[in-house]
Amino acid sequence: MSIRGAAFIAGAYEHPERVIPNKSVAQVHAEVAAGALADAGLSFADVDAYYCAGDAPGLGPLSMADYLGLRLAQLDSTDTGGSSYLIHVGHAAAAIQAGKCKVALITLAGLPRQTTARQAAARRVITDLAPETAFETPFGTPVHSLYALCAARHMYEFGTTSEQLAEIRVAAAHHAQYNEHAYLREPVTIADVVNSPLVSDPLHRLDCCVVTDGGGAIVVVAPEVARTLNRTCVKVLGQGEAPKHAENGRLDLVSTGAVWSGPAAFAEAGLTPADIDYASIYDSFTITVLMTLEDLGFCDKGKGGRFVTDGTLQAPHGLLPFNTDGGGLCNNHPANRGGMTKIIEAVRQLRAEANPAVQVPDCGLALVHGTGGTLGTRTGSATLILGRQDA
């Protein structure tokens, strides 16, 4: 059964800070939860479903359910990296539709900029290392190098250039200048991007997202709850999810799981790429965005470089305004998981609450896409399509 219209996003809150030296991870989860519930006009006592991922401390959702004092009929800690929260929205909508719950809280928080000693202590090894580890890690695999392998192959197969990738950073930075909370607010030129130092050929420093502390939360509610709230809600229209891996060691480096999650979401929503007014596209790296736009069908495979040229992604009047908060590239990529902030900016756009300089006029339909894990090895893709309350 389609989840189109089965649930609404009633609350959304992004933590305003980007460097947080004096708080615990659980505390930041609680702060964003409180912010999202206040935004919805609901309380912790109203919550009967909770979703989190690997950034939540403790065993799955149990520790945070305890910390927050939640009584729950649904709980889930599906973890596909940064895309987890899009999947949580889809799963919450299905649970609401099945009558399992009415008010689902989803939180993300982390402190990657704080001392790594705390992070090391938190690492728990009660199982084997992942079965692929021995055949990857010994060869020196920082994440920027794994994404660079995708960019290199994309350039080889399609002639994509560094200047085309740079257009993506230029658009995000253009938007970030209007966001008072963004980690980086300076506009940049294509030359600035391609002249920034190489981190792993062909990716430059400005092809990479920021590292920030913080987080965000959203509240997904049943239609009968949405009707009672004095708050503009956003309708969930469709959601798809798919892992993409090597399929027995024959890895395709130029496509992501969006080739499956996108069509599934569009089919559920009864929409096509041409219908989308605004897109939040996961932007861990510029190449992530470019490959995703192709896979979702905004342009043909291999034509992403051409597509992002000439202001396509720039709000308010580009063909496909994207990441109008500045994205992970410039605003916020908390806990190295960018999916929550992608959802939150789409909610702002549909509520007409984005910064006026970047608000898409008459924004009625939005797409959110998450790319968790790592392109270059294995990734979790998720696509979420949202509309205004009356969609």
Partner 1 sequence: MSTPSLPAPAPDVNPETKPFWDATAEGRLLLPRCRDCRAFIWYPRQFCPACGSLDTEWTQACGRGVIFSFTVTRRGQGDYAKAAPYVLAYVELAEGPRMLTNIVDCDVDAVAIGDPVEVVFHDTGAGSALPRFRPAVTAAHE
- Contact residues for partner 1 (CB under 8 A)? 128-129, 131-142, 144-146, 148-153, 156, 197-203, 246-251, 253, 377
Q: Which CB sits closer to partner 1, 359 or 379?
A: 379
Which are the contacts of 113, defined by CB distance < 8 A and separation ≥ 6?
19, 20, 211, 212, 213
What is the nearest approach in angstroms of partner 1 to the Cβ of residue 159?
A: 13
Q: How far is CA 100 from the centre of its chain?
A: 26
Q: Write the DSSP symbol of residue 334.
A: B
Q: Which CB sits closer to partner 1, 1 or 125?
A: 125
Q: Which CB sits closer to partner 1, 135 or 224?
A: 135
What is the nearest approach in angstroms of partner 1 to the Cβ of residue 165?
A: 14
Task: Report how far apart, in Å, the C-alpha atoms of 192 and of each of 106, 188, 189, 286, 330 are.
Answer: 37, 6, 5, 14, 14
Whose CA is closest to 18, among 186, 183, 206? 183
Residue 182 and residue 175: Cα distance in Å, rounded? 10
What is the nearest approach in angstroms of partner 1 to the Cβ of residue 116?
A: 12
What is the nearest approach in angstroms of partner 1 to the Cβ of residue 200?
A: 5
Q: Which CB sits closer to partner 1, 123 or 317?
A: 123
What is the nearest approach in angstroms of partner 1 to the Cβ of residue 195?
A: 14
What is the nearest approach in angstroms of partner 1 to the Cβ of residue 69?
A: 39
Q: Which CB sits closer to partner 1, 148 or 226?
A: 148
Whose CA is closest to 10, among 223, 313, 272? 223
Within 10 Å of residue 43's Cβ, how many Cβ atoms? Answer: 11
Residue 29 and residue 232: Cα distance in Å, rounded? 24
Residues in a beta bridge with 212: 334
Q: Which CB sits closer to partner 1, 222 or 287?
A: 287
**Omega of the bond prior to 202 within 30 degrees of 0, cis?**
yes
